Structure 1
Amino acid sequence: MKRLFFLLLTCLFISTSAFADKTKFTATAPNVVALGEQFRLSYSLNEKGEGLKLPVIKGFRVLLGPSTSTNMSTQYINGKMTSSSSYTYTYVLLAETEGKFTFEPAEITVDGKLVKSNSHTIEVVRSSTKNKQQGTHQSTSAQAQNITKDNLYLKVNVDRKSVFMGEPVKASLKIYTKDVKVVNFEQFKEPSYQGFLTQNIEGSNSNAFQGENINGEIFYTYTIKEILLFPQHDGEIIIDPMELSCIVQLTAQARSRGFFDDFFNNYKNVRVPRKSEPVKIKVKPVPNNAPKSFDGAVGQFKMNTTINQDSVKVDDAITMKVTISGNGNMKLINPLKFDFPADFEVYDPKTNQNLQSSAKGMTGSTTFEYLIIPRHAGDFTIPANEFTYFDPNAKRYITKLSPEFKIYVEKGEGGISNTTISSFTKEDVKFIGKDIRFIKTNIFEPIYKGEIFFGTLNFYLAYILPLFIFLMAFVFNRKRIKQNADVAKMKNKRANRVAMKRLKAASISLKANKKEAFYDEILKALWDYISDKFNLPLSDLSKDNINGILVEKEIEKEIITDFMAILDTCEFARYAPSSGSSEMDSLYQKTIDTITKLEKNIK
């Protein structure tokens, strides 16, 4: 009879738990609303229910509701049909009283079972409508001037500004806006987080702006990213500012609003750059009275140590697992070092981590798996070990102790005990090499291989050659420095090389059929050549004085005529109709020939 009673009780518990897990009844509403503002309070249910009962609503007036909507969907996955449905009950409320109000859970009946929703808190604040009223009559330029750092700004929020070394800081990167419609953002530059190890909090940012009460005013905030920061050294660490450009939508002013104006996009988007303020974090060192077993773990942890068997045969494997779970800098926890018996062969531990990053920090577990192989028979003990961490809440060190394990190892197959090696036990073998060693006592003479290097020709050359090379390098370097000091001479020497580089760029433009770029490069090659060759600034050069300079240098008249003709052709071709590729080819070759002839004729 008792067994039947417990069986029925267990079935009832399982069915109730399954029902509770299957049915979801959720209340949603804004977190902050303005006094006199209308908003929606919605209850969503994934199964059909009846008899919805609202909690007592104080400080709000129910204007409409409940308005019921149903959504049903059917899917075929791998030949199997699955269907789901959702029911939403919506109320429209009016905020009439300033303050914070908590909506108690609503109740509804599903298949004869009473289901409760979650509770929800709404804050009602007094909000000024001055800016909103002005915005409807202002031009877009006036609206843009009204966008200041008071109604649109960025901020890096941290949950604490003073932490212990290794204690995480949760940072939220957010946009704050009031009476400004931000439709997008771009060119996001995240802080560098120097001095911190970082871990992103997955799924923390929402896809919509949320209302917040900032000094009695409603600001709409968007969380770009949330991240955990683990300080790597003590002292003051600064979180650099973040930067981004907000795309703000302004209402364009119309001369006369018609019936169809609302159906068209009468808006203008402007880009507003913003930059947050740097944030200072004070990192305190952990107390200096740390036990020897402390290895940098900070947080709240538990330790569990197990072995899969305590009675084995020689060469059979034993697995020992050390699992550390809790909340803290889990990724920085190192494997524990056990004092295993000398007769055990132990491999490096394998690490398995199951970690989750949330607003509360990094939680989960880290497991170290040790593979142990006994090589000799006997009774052995794996001594207890300590794991010490610093609890920042309690501000003290806490030590967890693993149990002591007794291991019995039997002889291997064939009755071989393997307990001795050449009449020495393994414990004795450990001391071989630490005891007295005998030196070699027989008489021997060293044998020299080859001739003695000291005093030979190669010996003296090894000193003389490096000194000679150093002197040659010194003289060459002094000569090069003296030549580089004569700027005019250097420019003269490299004039032809610079011109050829310009002509190479012109050749690329010629192959790409870029007319303007081709003629520009030809002109630059000629002007730069004359400037470098005669040490004249470009601003003092003109076609007239170039002709005079070349005549003065006794350049052949034919070369001067060709040079001036190329200048005229390039200047004319930049504004003339497109030339053919053959004409550009011939001009390119003519320029090379002319510069080559000039280089030979200039004295």
Structure 2
Amino acid sequence: PKFADFWSQSIDEKQFKVYDGSYEGKPYRYVILRRTLLYPQKTGELTIEPLALNINVEAPTNRRDIFGMRITRPAKITVTAPTRKVNVKALPEDGKPESFTGAVGNFDFEVTASKTKLDAQEALDLTLTAKGNGNLKLFTLPKPKLPSALEVYEPENEQDVRVSLNGMAGSNSARYTIVPQQKGSYPIPPIRFSYFDPATEQYKTLSSDEIVIDVENGPATLATSDKADKIPVEETKQFAYIKSDAKLKSMNQDRFFGSTTFWSLLATPVVLIPLAILFGRKRRAYQNDVKGNRLRKADKLARKYLGDAKKSLGDQTAFYLALEKCLHNYLKARLNIQTSEMSKERISQLLQDRGVTVETTEAFLKLLESCEFARYTPSSSDAMQHDYEQASRVISEIDKQL
């Protein structure tokens, strides 16, 4: 199913296990194919669209064999799950801290510096880490406010997150590289991190300790600019102003007119202008060739994903995933449609409207069905080889007929 308005993470079953259960008062045996972890991104009533599966089964008939056992026959049925509704409550506005950035769960917060004593132009790392259980991939950490004499680079974000049926667990970190520019002592104020705890339905705020960076060797501190997130440091008058107009003259002045450089620059436009005109014409002709560009793009996508599928022969999951990508991207390039519009009826209508024969259209749709069935039923190496050769042939036939 499609999980619109949710962040989702699928958790595949490593081994299918048969369970006994009941549905609408009748006993059934069932297996769990896949579990999906969902985090809502909106409030209100959200809809989980139904899942439809085409399943091959052995259906009983009214005939019996010589031993009195009921004879079965293979059949293909379609089963559909009902639509599910989820009511998502909004986070309370009362008591929401200014430092709240969307974290929901139960977390610990710490700020560490790789070193607190160093020399100017020597680097240190300041690491902010939130650990615990919750939506670790869906919030940002607060930004530290540092003295202007500390040059700060963009942070490196690291997420060590494990996803299970109980949700996300692990850590979300941001590591800042800091390079002091002058000698002095620079305090890093406490950093506040806020999150919403669903167990108590309250906001909680954690604060780090103040960290003092001592720069022992280097130039004295200079005046800093007025920025809201900077702490001013001591101003000293160390350098004189740089003269903007020194009126310097070269000691060795070579003649330019008549030199090799002069004649080279003079001849360059004569050579480059015709080449530029020719190149512009070729480029416009190439850009205006819409049909040719579309064909080239389709062929490139088909070769790429068919090549991936060929390399994955023998690995059912990887092979059919690559083959399905090949077919979908090929349709996007050739028919100019999106994945959400790729119903079987829509694909069949568009192909036949473009002049593709009924036999070729049915062969293409049968390949899509094979990719869908392969998710839930085992497939042999011969079947995968046959589907690969069939895909190559069908794509070639469609190229000829369009």
2:153 is matched with which residue? Answer: 347
For 1:490-534, what per-residue CA distance to the aligned partner results, in whole angstroms no more than 9, with x for missing partners? xxxxxxxxxxxxxxx9xx99xxxxxxxxxxxxxxxxxxxxxxxxx
Residues 215-230 of structure 1 correspond to what in structure 2 (within 5 A)?
218-230=27-39
Residues 585-596 of structure 1 correspond to what in structure 2 (within 5 A)?
none
SS of match in other structure, 1:331: coil
User: Is the counterpart of residue 193 in structure 1 residue 40 in structure 2?
Assistant: no
1:302 equivalent among 86, 96, 108: 108
Change (3 A) 1:255 1:349: closer
- RMSD over aligned Cα, in angstroms? 2.8
Asked whether the 8 Å contact 1:205–1:224 carries over to 2, the reply is no
2:185 equivalent among 379, 386, 399: 379
For 1:338-382, what per-residue CA distance to the aligned partner results, in whole angstroms no more than 9, with x for missing partners? 111111111111011111111101111112111111111101100
Following the alignment from structure 1 to structure 2, what is the Cα–Cα distance between the partners of residues 426 and 241? 60
User: Is the counterpart of residue 283 in structure 1 residue 88 in structure 2?
Assistant: yes
User: Cα offset for 1:418?
Assistant: 4.3
1:36 is matched with which residue? Answer: none
One-letter code of the match for 2:34? K
1:361 is matched with which residue? Answer: 167
Asked whether the 8 Å contact 1:236–1:281 carries over to 2, the reply is yes
Structure 1 or 2, whichever has the larger Rg, is 1
Following the alignment from structure 1 to structure 2, what is the Cα–Cα distance between the partners of residues 395 and 199? 25
One-letter code of the match for 2:83? P
Q: Structure 2 unaligned segments of length 5 or more: list them.
A: 233-354, 358-402
Q: Structure 1 unaligned segments of length 5 or more: list them.
A: 1-190, 432-504, 510-603
Determine what percentage of the aligned residue pairs are the same residue: 31
Following the alignment from structure 1 to structure 2, what is the Cα–Cα distance between the partners of residues 332 and 298? 9
Asked whether the 8 Å contact 2:102–2:195 carries over to 1, the reply is yes
Change (3 A) 1:300 1:215: farther
User: Cα offset for 1:428?
Assistant: 7.9
1:323 is matched with which residue? Answer: 129
1:234 equivalent among 38, 43, 62: 43
2:221 is matched with which residue? Answer: 419
User: Cα offset for 1:219?
Assistant: 2.6
TM-score normalised to structure 2 length: 0.53
Change (3 A) 1:250 1:214: closer
Following the alignment from structure 1 to structure 2, what is the Cα–Cα distance between the partners of residues 301 and 213? 39
Residues 126-165 of structure 1 correspond to what in structure 2 (within 5 A)?
none
User: Cα offset for 1:255?
Assistant: 5.4
Following the alignment from structure 1 to structure 2, what is the Cα–Cα distance between the partners of residues 428 and 368? 26
Following the alignment from structure 1 to structure 2, what is the Cα–Cα distance between the partners of residues 237 and 357? 22
For 1:448-499, what per-residue CA distance to the aligned partner results, in whole angstroms no more than 9, with x for missing partners? xxxxxxxxxxxxxxxxxxxxxxxxxxxxxxxxxxxxxxxxxxxxxxxxxxxx
SS of match in other structure, 2:196: strand
User: Cα offset for 1:400?
Assistant: 0.9
Asked whether the 8 Å contact 2:101–2:141 carries over to 1, the reply is no
1:274 is matched with which residue? Answer: 79
Following the alignment from structure 1 to structure 2, what is the Cα–Cα distance between the partners of residues 220 and 255? 24
One-letter code of the match for 1:405? I
SS of match in other structure, 2:137: helix
Asked whether the 8 Å contact 1:206–1:223 carries over to 2, the reply is no
Asked whether the 8 Å contact 2:16–2:33 carries over to 1, the reply is no
For 1:67-91, what per-residue CA distance to the aligned partner results, in whole angstroms no more than 9, with x for missing partners? xxxxxxxxxxxxxxxxxxxxxxxxx
For 1:536-575, what per-residue CA distance to the aligned partner results, in whole angstroms no more than 9, with x for missing partners? xxxxxxxxxxxxxxxxxxxxxxxxxxxxxxxxxxxxxxxx
Change (3 A) 1:216 1:274: closer
For 1:158-211, what per-residue CA distance to the aligned partner results, in whole angstroms no more than 9, with x for missing partners? xxxxxxxxxxxxxxxxxxxxxxxxxxxxxxxxx21111111122x446413222
User: Is the counterpart of residue 257 in structure 1 residue 66 in structure 2?
Assistant: yes
Following the alignment from structure 1 to structure 2, what is the Cα–Cα distance between the partners of residues 236 and 305? 38
SS of match in other structure, 1:426: coil
Asked whether the 8 Å contact 2:124–2:179 carries over to 1, the reply is yes
Q: Aligned pair count?
A: 231
Following the alignment from structure 2 to structure 1, what is the Cα–Cα distance between the partners of residues 26 and 183? 77
Following the alignment from structure 2 to structure 1, what is the Cα–Cα distance between the partners of residues 64 and 146? 88
Q: Which has the higher strand share?
A: 1
Following the alignment from structure 2 to structure 1, what is the Cα–Cα distance between the partners of residues 43 and 200? 19
Asked whether the 8 Å contact 2:149–2:221 carries over to 1, the reply is no
Change (3 A) 1:227 1:205: farther
Change (3 A) 1:216 1:252: closer
Following the alignment from structure 1 to structure 2, what is the Cα–Cα distance between the partners of residues 382 and 278? 52
User: Is the counterpart of residue 209 in structure 1 residue 14 in structure 2?
Assistant: no
Asked whether the 8 Å contact 1:205–1:223 carries over to 2, the reply is no
Change (3 A) 1:277 1:268: same
Asked whether the 8 Å contact 1:251–1:266 carries over to 2, the reply is yes
Following the alignment from structure 1 to structure 2, what is the Cα–Cα distance between the partners of residues 405 and 255? 83
SS of match in other structure, 2:66: coil
Following the alignment from structure 2 to structure 1, what is the Cα–Cα distance between the partners of residues 88 and 28? 31
User: Cα offset for 1:220?
Assistant: 1.6
Following the alignment from structure 1 to structure 2, what is the Cα–Cα distance between the partners of residues 371 and 386? 20
One-letter code of the match for 1:398? K
Following the alignment from structure 1 to structure 2, what is the Cα–Cα distance between the partners of residues 212 and 397? 41
Residues 383-532 of structure 1 correspond to what in structure 2 (within 5 A)?
383-412=189-218, 417-420=219-222, 425-426=223-224
Asked whether the 8 Å contact 2:162–2:168 carries over to 1, the reply is yes
One-letter code of the match for 1:247? N
Following the alignment from structure 1 to structure 2, what is the Cα–Cα distance between the partners of residues 204 and 389? 32
One-letter code of the match for 1:419? T
Following the alignment from structure 2 to structure 1, what is the Cα–Cα distance between the partners of residues 146 and 118? 16
Following the alignment from structure 1 to structure 2, what is the Cα–Cα distance between the partners of residues 325 and 253? 62
Following the alignment from structure 2 to structure 1, what is the Cα–Cα distance between the partners of residues 226 and 108? 39
User: Cα offset for 1:252?
Assistant: 4.6
Asked whether the 8 Å contact 1:354–1:365 carries over to 2, the reply is yes
User: Cα offset for 1:396?
Assistant: 0.3
For 1:239-259, what per-residue CA distance to the aligned partner results, in whole angstroms no more than 9, with x for missing partners? 11111122221245545515x
User: Is the counterpart of residue 337 in structure 1 residue 143 in structure 2?
Assistant: yes
One-letter code of the match for 2:6? F
Change (3 A) 1:377 1:272: same
One-letter code of the match for 2:211? F
User: Cα offset for 1:232?
Assistant: 1.1
